[in-house]
Chain A
Amino acid sequence: MSIFRLAAAHWRVNALNELQYRVNLVVQLFQSLIALATGLIGLSLVFRQTDDLAGWSRPELLAVMGVHLLMGGIIQAVVQPNMQRLMGDVQNGLFDYSLVKPVDAQALSSVRELRIWQVVDVLVGAAVLAVAVVQLDARVGVGQALWFVVALVLGALSIYSFWLILTTGVFWIIRIENIVELFQGVYQAGRWPVGIYPPWLRGGLTFLVPVAFAVTVPSEAMTGRLTPQTMALAFGVAVGLMAVARGVWRLGVRRYGGASA
């Protein structure tokens, strides 16, 4: 598939370049550890007062935190930098160059950037998740791990599609530049299972901003809570959001070219 070749070419170049700046690794490591420490302190404060939070035990919530860090790393490494570059390109008129290339412009715009040091977050998240799994007493089988990976991929695709819709739709129509901060604020909600939020907020975190599918559902897969229905829903939402994102993209490009629908 050509998108993988495109991604491989761009990521290789980006990674090789960033690898020259080792200092950034130290900075990233430091920030990841601070985020980890803050998260752990928050978790321990909660469990000073209670033994379970809305049915989630301590190791289970640790797993949620691990997935949250891991997914956050993926978003910051790939999704967000590409969308930010796309916004910049549209503003500077550089998007023209993406359109005259003989490849799908959406694919190209989605794979050009990679922040390799953000992988530290992914690794820290994976480590936290591993610790949580050990504490869960071998309740995790190969099947669960497999479903976890599937759920994680679906979650990442949902978040990507959401970001793309935001970038194309919102940015081209009303030009909001603070959506990065807005998204990061909302993404913090994923640190806890969405089940604890009041229904209106849970709905928003599930269907409006797909944090539930990015973090909670993979965590459910890892902690053996995943029902086939939830998995089917995650699949449906991922596919649906990707289709909507594609549609909004097409519309945005048509608008850009002045071919009013």
Chain B
Amino acid sequence: MRRLCVALGAIALAVSAFAAEIPPSDRRSGYDFMSRETRAMQDDDTANPGMLSVLEGGTLWTRKAGGAGKACADCHGDARTSMKGVAARHPSFDAARGRPVNLEQRINACRVDRQGTPPLAYESRELLALSAYVARQSRGRPIEIAVDARTQPFLDAGRATFHRRQGQLNLSCSQCHDDQWGRSLAGNTIPQAHPTGYPIYRLEWQAVGSLQRRLRNCFVGLRAEAYEYGAPELVDLELFLMWRARGMTFEAPAVRP
């Protein structure tokens, strides 16, 4: 416990010099902080377990569902062209809901509004598969988040969450990921928290998971109460993180330790 306090104290001291946003030239994907072996796992589609989810998503893409008897492909055609860049532009503003929605919510909106079928549960195998399949079509594309008068308030809310001290550890996201990236925390190098490859295959999970699952992990790590899946606060934070990573190359399905 004493060691813990010392470690946290060191972090608190180090963050007293409040850092600004990471300059574009210094931004690095979490990929750059991984071991050679984990990078190799991501680079080889025949070794990347996230590709199993992509494969399943491809099957679901053409499967008819719901009362409308329609498949994703019936409206969107070949995902390889129609979905190119789409994941790299989410969260994006949804006029009907009057706020940004993330990729999973966009997929579920399609299911409910167009296919006439109940939404898929967050972190369900099917929703992860569909989002992995759609996200795969953005691999190699730059992250582009449109900011306008409609999205600005949500982006600001996400930024505020990123900078707010939270939980029993009283730490903000920024204090680790803006100020301490590249340093070690236990066996890990602290990354810059750019969501360049979600959904990811995380070795710790031994499974594919969404950005919201990862963010909820962080809140638990801070000993803060995690927002529920789909909570506006989490979507706003996703929006801010994607905007913060704007211009970086999308790499889904990424592998992370």
Note whether A and B form a binding pair: no
Show the binding face of B for A, using Cβ within 8 Å.
none
